[in-house]
């Protein structure tokens, strides 16, 4: 009889300890969830959406044949005011990029000597001195197209394409085209920051 009563007390004590431990765990979880919410500390993937984008079909150019990529297809979506660009490129089935190469995406301004779209060269941006501190060289730079590097395209299993999403805290009105280049140096180590071989281009209309 005494043993049964004692065993009953032990069970009650064990149940009480378990309940206290559960309550402490719930309180700890609630505290940390609240703190993370307040600090914005979440590991969720960033939602990548372009609300008011212009679709830009990307067409291959003759240089793509040098790497046997002439049957590639691509499309870009440009949020000019939002400062966002999304690019998808699909290679022909059975085709791969040359070894050590990657695809890079660029926004391009035509420059004084033409290209797709209009030039955005302006003296208003040079009131306090010429770029590169060299008048002759600056004129030559103004003649050439200007390309803003957006980054390399990475394989997306979800989209089944080579994909890039770019976002900047600025508007993209100066740019006239989206260009895809083959960066044969792989953009590794001390790579050339200028565009590689252009293989696709599309005008932002």
Cβ atoms < 10 Å from Cβ of 78: 24
Nearest CA to 179 among 151, 198, 159?
A: 198
Domain boundaries, the chain: 1-43, 54-203
Opening angle at CA 117, ends 177 and 135, nearest 5: 100
Of 94 and 3, the one with more pLDDT: 94
Query: In this predicted model, which residue has the larger pLDDT, 6 or 98?
Result: 98
Report the candidate in 162, 205, 168, 159 with the shortest Cα–Cα distance to residue 180.
Answer: 162
Which residues fall within 8 angstroms of residue 131, CB to CB, at 6 or more apart? 138, 141
pLDDT in tens, 20-62: 877 777 777 676 666 555 555 444 445 688 988 999 999 999 9
Q: Compute CA distances 18 → 7, 14, 32, whole Å.
A: 17, 6, 21
User: What's the pLDDT score for residue 42?
Assistant: 43
Secondary structure element (H or E) that encloses residue 151, with its range? strand 146-152
Number of Cβ within 10 Å of residue 95's Cβ equals 13
Q: What is the pLDDT of residues 134-143, one digit of tens each?
A: 999 999 999 9
DSSP one-letter code for 174: T
Burial of 175 (0-12, 13-18, 19+ CB in 10 A): buried
Give 90-147 pLDDT, tens digit per residue.
999 999 999 999 999 999 999 998 877 778 888 888 889 988 899 999 999 999 999 9
The sheet carrying 102-109 orders its strands as 146-152, 102-109, 177-183, 197-203, 54-60, 73-79, 84-90, 161-167, 154-156
Mean pLDDT of the chain: 87
């Amino acid at each position: 009889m005494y043993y049964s009563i004692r065993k009953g007390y032990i069970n009650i004590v064990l149940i009480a300890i378990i309940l206290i431990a559960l309550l402490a765990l719930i309180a700890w979880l609630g505290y940390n969830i609240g703190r993370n919410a307040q600090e914005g500390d979440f590991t969720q993937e960033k939602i990548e959406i372009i609300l008011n984008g212009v679709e830009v079909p990307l067409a291959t150019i003759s240089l793509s044949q040098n790497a046997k990529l002439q049957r590639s297809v691509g499309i870009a979506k440009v949020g000019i005011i939002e400062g966002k660009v999304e690019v998808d490129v699909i290679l022909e089935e059975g085709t791969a990029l040359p070894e050590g190469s990657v695809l890079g995406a660029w926004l391009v301004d035509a420059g004084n000597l033409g290209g797709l779209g209009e030039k955005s060269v302006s003296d208003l941006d040079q009131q306090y001195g010429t770029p590169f501190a060299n008048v002759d060289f600056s004129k030559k730079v103004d003649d050439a197209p200007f390309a803003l590097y957006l980054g390399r395209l990475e394989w997306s299993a979800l989209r089944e394409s080579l994909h890039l999403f770019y976002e900047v805290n600025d508007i993209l009105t100066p740019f006239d085209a989206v260009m895809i280049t083959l960066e044969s140096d792989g953009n590794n180590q001390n790579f050339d920051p200028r565009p590689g071989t252009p293989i696709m281009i599309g005008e932002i209309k």
